[in-house]
Amino acid sequence: MKLESLLNSSELSNHNSNLKITDICSDSRLVKNGNLFFLLEKNVELQKHYVKEAITKGASCIVAQKQSKFTRSSSDIPIIKVDSVRKTLSSVSSKYYPKQPKNILAVTGTNGKTSVTKFTEEIWKLMGVKSASIGTLGNSAHGMQSILTTPEPISLHKQLDILASEGYQNMVIEASSHGLDQFRMDALEIGGAAFTSFSRDHLDYHISMDSYFNAKKRLFTELISPKGTAVVNMIDIPIRYHDFIDCIRSENLITIDKANATISILDIKRGEDGNIQVQVDLYGDKMIIMTPFKASFQALNSLVAGCMATINTDISIFEAFASIKKLSDVKGRLECVARYKNNNIYIDYAHTPNAMKSILEAIKSVTKNRLIIVFGAGGDRDKGKRSMMTDVADKYADLVIITDDNPRFEEPHLIRRQLMKKSKKFTEIANRKEAISYAILELSSDDSLVICGKGHEEYMVYGDEKIYFSDHRVVEEIIKK
């Protein structure tokens, strides 16, 4: 493909528009001969290293920020300066890999993105709609795992191009705040979007709650199609942010709230089978929605998914809600992974105070005896939420076991110290496998165990070292002994 097909005329001024591009790349280590390389790095010294490496490996052209001091005279190839490398990368990726499924939906929120994404896909499949999803759990159609919740533009558009070629026309994608802030989804035709919840997280990156919210808000104020549909769970978004719905650019809006909403929640109760039932006012009609879930937040996530499943399909909202009772657990999302000596063992990805609170409240309500929790905190992330997570665990659990969870470049013992309390119910066990083993062996009749933090993840990160580790596998090994 020629350079002129990827960049606009203003960006190409004084450059050879007929230059042939063999591929696009944003990782200098992966550059091949004839590639168009995008320099995303902000550190000046690292920029020099990446540019040199890209040129050595055969890059034919480099796209850099306008403020960059690189010029053609300091290299052997053209340097194209743009206002935003990340925005340009998204645009170019969509041109190099031009095919997209016709119906792309996106899900954002502090908690619930993965569940709503998977529930939406499952409802589609129950209704016979060929569909796929991309998110924290990877690419469902190809079984690909993902490093990022929302892939970088090149990977994202390449995957979408392949899926469209394979006949997938209904797609749902998780939209992380990082992904939205870094314009990864800016070149997508987004027909529908959901906002699941909002609470504290990622303040190591976004600095303030308002900045964090504004990143998520972009999906609704800038990216969703004007003719699209927005689904917003107002219940789990703080009231001070509710006026954002006045800025949503799509012509269709579905709100879920306790009253005065498109879908008003009249009652949430637990049925005789222990599962949540939700009574709603749906366009003036009352409907009882049976769910297979133990927690009310899961039930609300399934309602959001039900609404999403109707966007640009022939599925009615009544059909979608009726199918909710057939949904299955999402891996690592309040997933009951084992029943051991009359006790339930759950694994959940919860790594925020609000997520932990929702999970522990739900499980405590169905636990006859003690509630035990195992959790840690990730290193090099928002440190302010650690004491809040400890307070939540202290309030709801009867036994709290503090352990490691991806310390990264922080000292693990210092993270654990921040999570500990001087209380008989708190125990510190550094080794995560030993911590889980201890918790399981502590179980007595009618207890519940919740293992938080890692969910679906199958690794632990200590500094530069990434070690295989699966909470699921550890539980399986211990209960078989």
User: Residue 154 phi/psi, 5° resolution?
Assistant: -60, -50
Listed in sequence order, the residues at least 6 apart from 155 whose beta carbon sits closer than 8 Å to its beta carbon are none
Domain 335-480 has CATH 3.90.190.20: yes
> What φ, ψ does residue 280 adopt, rounded to 5°?
-125, 155
- Contact between residue 269 and residue 277 where contact means Cβ atoms under 8 Å apart: yes
Return the CATH superfamily for domain 97-326.
Mur-like, catalytic domain (3.40.1190.10)
Yes or no: say if 306 and 317 are a contact pair by the CB < 8 Å rule. Answer: yes
Measured in residues, the chain has a length of: 481
DSSP-derived secondary structure letter, 408? B
Between 3.40.640.10, 3.20.20.70, 3.40.1390.10, 1.10.10.10, what CATH number should domain 3-84 receive?
3.40.1390.10
Give the contacts of 243 (CB within 8 A, at least 6 positions apart).
none
131-135 vs 103-108, strand pairing mode = unpaired
Q: Are 379 and 464 in contact (CB under 8 A)?
A: no
DSSP code of residue 424? T
Per 3-state DSSP, the chain is made up of helix, strand and coil in percentages (nearest 5) of 40, 25, 40
Structure tokens at 175: 């939209």
Answer for the pair 411, 386: CB distance below 8 angstroms, yes or no.
Answer: no
Residues in Cβ contact with 232 at an 8 Å cutoff, skipping those fewer than 6 apart: 194, 195, 220, 245, 248, 253, 254, 255, 256
Burial of 479 (0-12, 13-18, 19+ CB in 10 A): middle
What are the Cα distances from residue 471, in Å, to 54, 135, 136, 300, 435? 39, 20, 17, 26, 11
Strands 252-257 and 263-270 turn out to be parallel
| Contact between 419 and 426 (Cβ < 8 Å) | no
Query: Is residue 257 classed as helix, strand or coil in its secondary structure?
Result: strand
Give start-end residues of each CATH 3.40.1190.10 domain in the chain.
97-326
- Residue in the block written with tokens 């995303």: 40
What separation in angstroms does the CA of 351 have from each of 52, 285, 347, 374, 395? 39, 38, 12, 12, 16
Residues of the chain with CATH 3.40.1390.10: 3-84
Is 156 in contact with 130 (CB distance < 8 Å)? Answer: no
User: What is the residue-level pLDDT of the chain in tens, covering all 481 positions?
Assistant: 999 899 876 777 666 778 899 999 999 999 999 999 999 999 999 999 999 999 999 999 999 999 887 776 566 788 899 999 999 999 999 999 999 999 999 999 999 999 999 999 999 999 999 999 999 999 999 988 888 999 999 999 999 999 999 999 999 999 999 999 999 999 999 999 999 999 999 999 999 999 999 999 999 999 999 999 999 999 999 999 999 999 999 999 999 999 999 999 999 999 999 899 999 999 889 999 999 999 999 999 999 999 999 999 999 999 999 999 999 999 999 999 999 988 999 999 999 999 999 999 999 999 999 999 999 999 999 999 999 999 999 999 999 999 999 999 999 999 999 999 999 999 999 999 999 999 999 999 999 999 999 999 999 999 999 999 999 999 999 998 7
